[in-house]
Structure 1
Amino acid sequence: MEPGHGRVDPAHPADDPGVLPGTAVPVRNGHQRRECGGQVTVEVDARGIRIDGDAQVVLCASLFYFRLPREQWRERLEQVRRSGYTCVDVYLPWNFHEVSPGQWSFEGRRDVAAYLDLAFELGLHVIARPGPYICSEWDGGALPAWLGLDPALGVRQNEPQYLAQVTAWFDQVLPIIAARQQGAGGAVIMVQLENELDFFDCADRPGYLSALRDQAVAHGIDVPLIACSGQGDLFGATGNVEGVVPACNFYPNDDSPFVEEEVRRYAQLLAERGLPLLITETNRRHRTLRRMLASGASLLAPYLQSSGWNFGYTPSSGNWGRPGNFMSHGYDFNGYVSSTGVERPEYAEAQVLAWVLAALGPRLASATPGESIEVVTDFPTSSSHSVLELDGGGRLVAVPNLGSDDGQAIVAGIPVAVAADSCPLMLLDLPLGETTLRLASADLMDSRQGLLFCSSVPVTVAIGNTTEEIPVGSSRTVEGVVVTVEPPPEVDTPEATDVQHGTVRRRTSAAPSTPAGTHELAPTLESLGAYRGRGTYTATTDLTDELLVVGAADIVDLSIGGRVHTLAGFGATERIDVRGLTGELRATVEIWGHANFDDTRLPSLRLGALRGLGSVWNVVETHDLSALWTVDGHWAGDPAPLRSLTGWSSTRIGTPITYSRAIAPDRPAALHLDGVREPVAVTVDDGQPVTVHAENPWVMLPAGTKQLSVTAPHHPTSGGLRAELLTLSPILDWTCAVQDDELLTAFAVRRESGTEIELPLTLAPGAETWLDVELPTLENGLLIRPDGAQVRITGWASGECLGRVWLGERPAFSGGDPDVLWIPPGWSGLTLLVQGVAGPATPELRTIGIETT
């Protein structure tokens, strides 16, 4: 939509918000006030946000410098500004800048100071989020992998050793932020401490948040400090620490009729504390954002409106409780800008909402909750419509159409049309100089030369004593006021174009390894100094009929006597039939990414869990333990009944019942519970109960264990549990070598001669080869879309690892298109490491498809 009709450009709001009377906002004392040099620059209280005294509703888009090439920062920031959003939020990942213990990098793509300066130059505000934990589907949630090497160090706890590590990070990053605050010649208007701490079992929330706050204040952070709750637990997120403003992350079903009621509850809870509702993360659809705005939000920061890429070895593993999920190279949740920078239809929706905010200005920014009004619709809509009382007079009501068809509503007694899948922000009783706008059924875009509305259906306008329906694309004069209705803007989506690559050459050499010694037990890769990358483990031993592999992660290609097994079970115990096999055991273990969430169901999904082969055991004997369990506490009298495991019959459906029995293994053992459907508790001797989940129904037992207890809910039709006891003998004496990400990248970018080959390329499971691919020289970026089966592919260009894809049978992926690699504009060369994966098909790379972006 062209900016005709004298409309305010949302990227450059006019000083005068329009002719609407009463737009001036009195300055109030802020409940939370931060000062720079004695001058109040950012204030937040129950009436909202004021920046340099101006009341503002802040529209904020996530845009992460570490997920984009530095060459694209300006273009993407300008794109956000053109959308009408006035702010970007940005995580600052600790382990992106501390690349190994004590080795810091703030150069190149890590130059966050340059990114913040660029945002300021372009007139954008910034919400800085330095963690220390950020989540963000990022490797370890940004916590450095080596923290897990110290069992006494408690991540995300008020614990001295952890806080000492955090201090080292904050000493690096907080001065960069402090020098770039609002009022100190910079763009930063808020600083977020931690991230969704209410999801995590922090033992001392007030102490932990106080420690983080004190460090921020000591480093001169003067703008408001905030902490976001992931599930509405305000105390869990902030510890109710003074000087830390609670914020909320909402991820509702976009079609839920109850969004308004939930958001209004939190707006009221925070208003009672003298604070605004800051929504620091939420869905990306503007229909939902409008509902939240009308429900009292002063900050709207939909997560990942502007998408990016997980370069290199940076994505996390294990996400959102599936469990067992890998993140793709593309980091894209269908925000208004794609990973390649293409604007989607939501981009136009962003511009419309920004024009509405500019048209209403501080009147809307300082609005207060209003009394509900009757709204009758013939389409699915909110259970309770939200109303705002505008500062200076008038009301705003959001009327969402949650259906797929245009419909009719009756608002304040007046019939109006409402487009499908929309949420017009309707105005009521708005003063217009000598008259009153009693109702407008569409978004007000501008009021400086009459009234300009945006709608895809006819707009009903009631001014004074006159009510008229105005078709889209026309103007009418109503009670002396010129009223114009324009259609919504559209976004042109460019089509991708296929291009051809040139010669494919196969290297004759393989990447070198760094020897890491011989170890009795297989060590973690992190203990060998590989925090990102991969390693190999080799041992020679006599085999029994079965092996047990415990805690292997992330991806293990295990060769046993020449037979390859690919394991990607996130540390789940694997039982492998090795009958008839002899010879060497060799494992290549690849770190895909450390867990960014804390999921107890699988070993490698715990926050801070380390990576490696785990432990490998020969199974010496197997014993059936399904019978002869004593039932504890559910009988009428002595003696205690003796039943099979979960075989007690009772009318107490769902009641936990404990079964116990004696055992006497003379060596280490493993308890396997077959048939686990919901969590059960296992107690070994007098220890603490361990929760066992269906995803990993195993418990390791030390030699000499005497007693087992299993507590499970009673379900007489569940089929019961079977128990096995496997006695074990460890496989020892592992020879190790590592290839960290720096070593692999250095080898990938080294120019080598090779043998020209034609695709398809067939590999054996566990085998690998390096390919150099000749690419065309183009100004635009390139999407590399390989086709094949049972191969993992890692790509490099211009000295950086792009990311990885896995073709064929594989674990679950999320976050974007898992089958592409992206070469940014201006980057040159393409080197691929292709690895054969054990599975249902022969590993094969058939083609390397290329598209322009």
Structure 2
Amino acid sequence: MTDTSLSAVALRPTGLVLDGREEALFCASLFYFRLPRETWEARLAQVRATGYRAIDVYLPWNFHETAPGVWDFAGRHDVGAFLDLAHEAGLAVVARPGPYICSEWDGGALPAWLGLDPDLRVRQAEPRFLAQVRAWFDRAMPLLAERQWGRGGAVVAVQLENELDFFDTADRHAYISALRDMATGHGVTVPLIACAGQGDLVGAGGGVEGVAPAFNFYPDDRSPFVEAEVRRYADLVAARGLPLLVTETNRRHATLRRLMVSGAVLIAPYLQASGYDFGYTPSVGNWGDPGGFMTHDYDFGGYLSPVGEARPETAEARVLTAFTRTLGPRLAKARTTEAEGVQSVSVATSSSPSQLVLDGGGTVTGVPNLTEEPGTAEIGGRTVALAPRSTALIVRDLPLAGFGLTGTLAFASADLVGAGTDGLRFASGVASTVEVGGETAEFPAPEIGKPLRRTVGGVDITVLHPEDVADPDGARAEITGPAPEAEALTAVFRRALPTRSGATEAHELPPSSEAAGVFRGRTHYAATLDGVAELLIEGAADIVDLALDGEARPSHVGYGGTFTVPTAGKTAFTATVETWGHANFDDSRLPGLALGSLRGLGRVWAVTGREDVHALWTVDGGEQWAGDPAPVRSLGGWSSTRIGRPATYRRPLPVDGVSHYAFHLGELALPVEVDVDGEARIVSPIDPWVHLEPGRGRNVAVTAPHWPGSGSGPVELLRLEAVRDWRVEAQPDTAILALAGQDAEGLAVELPLRLAPGEETWLDVPVPSGGRSLRFEGEQVRVSAFAGGELLGRVWLDDPHRPRFTGGDPGRLWIPGAWNSGTVRLLVRGTAGGAQPHLARVTATAAPE
């Protein structure tokens, strides 16, 4: 086939122009790796039916390279087949192969073993990292190049990296240049883009020639300042002769209308089509507060739920996409300005509403209602009804000759969703006004299935209810009704299966999970304590279940932060560490939240001594001191009228030169800078520890802004000795899946099932056929569910020691119909620190697919 991709896809000021067609594009995130292969075709059809003409698709590196040099592009991993189905569905694809994708996915898609190389620096123009990326791009880029638009495929753009402006990359230009060269070297000729997460164009794309900037934009839907900010971005890229591409944003169409009328010509709300994280693939991230587990149910309220339910926003999608199709190139070529003619609005609205001056004449003015109450606006001398949480798109002075009609559409407060020789079609959920040819008509809000028709100024006018707007193929919207009642599943069977193999290896020190070969799954540790009264553990993540002499302790989720464990009189120490996921963002406040951080038990030390070091610090208060000698105060105890100005405290610590130590800064109220022998680092209140290697700590300086009452509390120096001679059992996800697939005799039991803290057992639960949402009730238990050879997901029930969950529904697990053989196998673990662990009930609700 002749290579026509260069002419088939063009990046112009009007946007991504496909086959010469200039049109504003709406794009829905749809991720093959979060859906069973059996649902791909149906989910693509659902997106197509909303009128969205494009999808954006991440390609997660670690979903395809499952272990070093082990690649999987078959079955559910066959991204080529998914892209082919997207093409057959008539959808364009913005492909996003990373190497880093974020996406609340395990490690942001960076393979877990990268962290084992201390000289490898992720997301840098560094040879070791680029060599690993090259191996990934050597497999991913040919798949995309073969499926470019114009070559019989769907790919219209390729995004390099993701929100790099959030990350501290030393040489952005060199890094993005290397990625660009890898892509073009594999024959990628469609536009290359780089998205900015916080508006820093050069930070995101390095200013690299041939890589166009795009924006990820997540405003508060109720913010009055959206339009002004978006117009600024539109002006920035217009000065470069480029369009405003919004590659991620909020999902509400009231907000998407504000972006469109402010100049965005590609609008890709993130996760309109939700999904589900099967296996050990959710991430650990910060989301503002440090720490938090992403749920398996991956849902931010888009128009399709994770199990395929069509929500009411699907009707809004059809209306807005019909509006853009109707205006077509007029809209794509429009010029955005601050709106004129908006006299007053009765409710909270934009501080600076936008207006599009359409190519060929006419305008579109966006008027938001940012409240939950109905309102009105005075526009051009007319009163316009505003629905709650909506944005009216007011069309004025639009010539109708291009639609085969005569005259001008002088005013319309309803959405223009169709135009042709048979007349004009509008959609509105409130009363509306249409003026054509000097004649004005007022329409009440139409009812579903009962369109309103009149002839106005010689033109046939139809006003539809939004739910009656057809998709591009003429079908009416189908919105999923209320969920059916949940069915209790009471017949369960307890299976006589082991939960571990029991095979261990000897290690002098506890290895990271990744060093033991566990990139996803669990690692089990055991050691004997001899006269140890207290342990200090550094770097343990994610779910740490400890037991002393067989007695389970409460689960610890500290994201790698240092903690101590009293052990006086105990001899047997065991730990099971489960990887929920690797950090998908980069947050240095806690070690386990840093991008590329490892998992496992971390370093385990016996505390062999404690010394109080809160006093005898000399203070340098800067300009406040008149001269030498410097005063001696407790750490944080200096007082001054110079609020917020830094003060530095110095003293030698009583280290012996041969031991490891932990310097504990007590209860910090603010972050401080700690300089140890000339090497500085920031220490946060959530992890107020500094590890001192042998010989370090003879000169320590702590610098903090003065804030009355912000002293560090107890300050101690702990002398440490490594705990040695470990037995370690690696239990990667493949081993757990193998155990879950074994047969064994079963004993029928009744729920509730009670367990001892730390006890694990396998259960089989018969499940009705078809796709089902599963829910679990109980206390102090973690449940992992397996079916179809996959881990469906994990839930953690009512435990004061469980972490914060973010994303979707933490209590829902989904078994797709194609994976449902009639039984779900559960691995149930009791946890300590609360009520007696028990699984009280399991329910199943039919889920559409």
TM tier, smaller:
over 0.9
Distance 1:541 1:456 in 2: 71
Q: Does 2:609 align with 1:621?
A: yes
Asked if 2 retains the 8 angstrom alpha-carbon contact of 1:137 and 1:319, the reply is no
Letter in 2 for 1:412: G
Q: Which residue of 2 aligns with 1:707?
A: 699
Change (3 A) 1:492 1:314: closer
Letter in 2 for 1:462: E
Q: Which residue of 2 aligns with 1:145?
A: 112
Q: Does 2:567 align with 1:575?
A: no
Q: Which residue of 2 aligns with 1:848?
A: 842
State the TM-score, normalized to the length of structure 2. 0.94
Q: Which residue of 2 aligns with 1:787?
A: 777
Distance 2:289 2:269 in 1: 23
Per the TM alignment, residue 388 of structure 1 is displaced from its structure 2 partner at its CA by 0.8
Aligned pair partner of 2:644 in 650, 654, 657:
654
- Which moves more between the two structures, 260-269 or 760-769? 760-769
Q: Aligned ranges for residues 174-189 of structure 1 at < 5 Å?
A: 174-189=141-156
Q: Which residue of 2 aligns with 1:517?
A: 505
Per the TM alignment, residue 516 of structure 1 is displaced from its structure 2 partner at its CA by 5.1
Q: Which residue of 2 aligns with 1:482?
A: 460
Asked if 2 retains the 8 angstrom alpha-carbon contact of 1:749 and 1:798, the reply is no
SS at match of 1:248: strand
Distance 1:563 1:716 in 2: 43
Letter in 1 for 2:457: E
Distance 1:741 1:838 in 2: 24
Aligned pair partner of 1:357 in 317, 324, 348:
324
Letter in 2 for 1:703: P
Q: Does 2:299 align with 1:307?
A: no
Q: Does 2:674 align with 1:682?
A: yes
Per the TM alignment, residue 499 of structure 1 is displaced from its structure 2 partner at its CA by 2.6
Q: Which residue of 2 aligns with 1:465?
A: 438
Distance 2:119 2:489 in 1: 52
Asked if 1 retains the 8 angstrom alpha-carbon contact of 2:338 and 2:353, the reply is no
Per the TM alignment, residue 406 of structure 1 is displaced from its structure 2 partner at its CA by 1.7
Aligned pair partner of 1:833 in 827, 832, 843:
827
State the TM-score, normalized to the length of structure 1. 0.94
Q: Does 2:533 align with 1:560?
A: no
Q: Which residue of 1 aligns with 2:62?
A: 95
* Alpha-carbon displacement from aligned partner over 1:14-43 (angstroms, at most 9, x marks no partner): xxxxxxxxxxxxxxxxxxxxx944750111
Asked if 1 retains the 8 angstrom alpha-carbon contact of 2:545 and 2:577, the reply is yes
Distance 2:701 2:604 in 1: 26
Distance 1:371 1:625 in 2: 62
Per the TM alignment, residue 424 of structure 1 is displaced from its structure 2 partner at its CA by 1.6
- Which moves more between the two structures, 181-190 or 369-378? 369-378
Per the TM alignment, residue 349 of structure 1 is displaced from its structure 2 partner at its CA by 0.6
Distance 1:644 1:425 in 2: 64
Q: Which residue of 1 aligns with 2:470?
A: none
Distance 1:485 1:752 in 2: 64
Letter in 1 for 2:687: N
* Alpha-carbon displacement from aligned partner over 1:594-613 (angstroms, at most 9, x marks no partner): 11111001111111101111
Q: Does 2:606 align with 1:639?
A: no
Aligned pair partner of 2:587 in 572, 575, 599:
599
Q: Aligned ranges for residues 216-227 of structure 1 at < 5 Å?
A: 216-227=183-194
Distance 2:531 2:145 in 1: 60
Distance 2:117 2:647 in 1: 37
* Alpha-carbon displacement from aligned partner over 1:439-478 (angstroms, at most 9, x marks no partner): 2112101122222211122212233433332223333322
SS at match of 2:728: strand
Distance 2:712 2:102 in 1: 38
- Which moves more between the two structures, 632-641 or 712-721? 712-721
* Alpha-carbon displacement from aligned partner over 1:685-707 (angstroms, at most 9, x marks no partner): 222x1111111111111233312
Per the TM alignment, residue 720 of structure 1 is displaced from its structure 2 partner at its CA by 4.8
Q: Which residue of 2 aligns with 1:589?
A: 577
* Alpha-carbon displacement from aligned partner over 1:269-301 (angstroms, at most 9, x marks no partner): 000011101000000000000000000001110
Distance 1:199 1:271 in 2: 24
Per the TM alignment, residue 722 of structure 1 is displaced from its structure 2 partner at its CA by 3.2
Aligned pair partner of 2:496 in 508, 511, 532:
508
Q: Aligned ranges for residues 283-294 of structure 1 at < 5 Å?
A: 283-294=250-261
Q: Aligned ranges for residues 685-700 of structure 1 at < 5 Å?
A: 685-687=677-679, 689-700=680-691
Asked if 1 retains the 8 angstrom alpha-carbon contact of 2:667 and 2:712, the reply is yes
Asked if 2 retains the 8 angstrom alpha-carbon contact of 1:88 and 1:125, the reply is yes
Asked if 2 retains the 8 angstrom alpha-carbon contact of 1:157 and 1:208, the reply is yes
Asked if 2 retains the 8 angstrom alpha-carbon contact of 1:543 and 1:618, the reply is no
Per the TM alignment, residue 308 of structure 1 is displaced from its structure 2 partner at its CA by 0.9
Aligned pair partner of 1:282 in 242, 249, 252:
249
Letter in 2 for 1:353: L
SS at match of 1:477: strand
Distance 1:570 1:811 in 2: 10
Letter in 1 for 2:463: V
Letter in 2 for 1:309: Y
Asked if 1 retains the 8 angstrom alpha-carbon contact of 2:613 and 2:653, the reply is no
Q: Which residue of 1 aligns with 2:740?
A: 748
- Which moves more between the two structures, 213-222 or 727-736? 727-736
Asked if 1 retains the 8 angstrom alpha-carbon contact of 2:636 and 2:710, the reply is no
* Alpha-carbon displacement from aligned partner over 1:381-413 (angstroms, at most 9, x marks no partner): 111111111111111111111112222211123
* Alpha-carbon displacement from aligned partner over 1:736-794 (angstroms, at most 9, x marks no partner): 11111111101101222222222212222222111122222x2x311111111111111
SS at match of 2:391: coil
Asked if 2 retains the 8 angstrom alpha-carbon contact of 1:313 and 1:533, the reply is yes
Distance 2:594 2:132 in 1: 19
- Which moves more between the two structures, 143-152 or 758-767? 758-767
Distance 1:366 1:356 in 2: 15
* Alpha-carbon displacement from aligned partner over 1:564-616 (angstroms, at most 9, x marks no partner): 2221111111122223x322111111111111111001111111101111111
Q: Aligned ranges for residues 41-440 of structure 1 at < 5 Å?
A: 41-370=8-337, 372-375=339-342, 376-433=344-401, 434-440=406-412
Distance 1:458 1:821 in 2: 42
Letter in 2 for 1:844: H
Distance 2:369 2:687 in 1: 45
Per the TM alignment, residue 371 of structure 1 is displaced from its structure 2 partner at its CA by 5.1
Distance 2:436 2:496 in 1: 80
SS at match of 1:525: coil
Distance 2:349 2:772 in 1: 43
Q: Percent identity among equivalent residues?
A: 56
Per the TM alignment, residue 484 of structure 1 is displaced from its structure 2 partner at its CA by 2.5
Asked if 1 retains the 8 angstrom alpha-carbon contact of 2:254 and 2:389, the reply is yes
Distance 1:832 1:412 in 2: 64
Asked if 1 retains the 8 angstrom alpha-carbon contact of 2:669 and 2:712, the reply is no
Distance 1:148 1:165 in 2: 12
Q: Which residue of 2 aligns with 1:547?
A: 535
Aligned residues: 815
Cα RMSD, aligned residues only: 1.5
Asked if 2 retains the 8 angstrom alpha-carbon contact of 1:60 and 1:300, the reply is yes
- Which moves more between the two structures, 785-794 or 435-444? 435-444
Aligned pair partner of 1:610 in 598, 606, 628:
598
Per the TM alignment, residue 45 of structure 1 is displaced from its structure 2 partner at its CA by 2.0
Letter in 2 for 1:850: A
Change (3 A) 1:648 1:113: same
- Which moves more between the two structures, 147-156 or 723-732? 723-732
Q: Which residue of 1 aligns with 2:814?
A: 822
Q: Which residue of 2 aligns with 1:499?
A: 487
Distance 1:624 1:103 in 2: 52
Letter in 1 for 2:111: P
Letter in 1 for 2:584: N
Distance 1:329 1:814 in 2: 10
Per the TM alignment, residue 507 of structure 1 is displaced from its structure 2 partner at its CA by 1.9
Distance 1:756 1:38 in 2: 62
Distance 1:481 1:790 in 2: 67
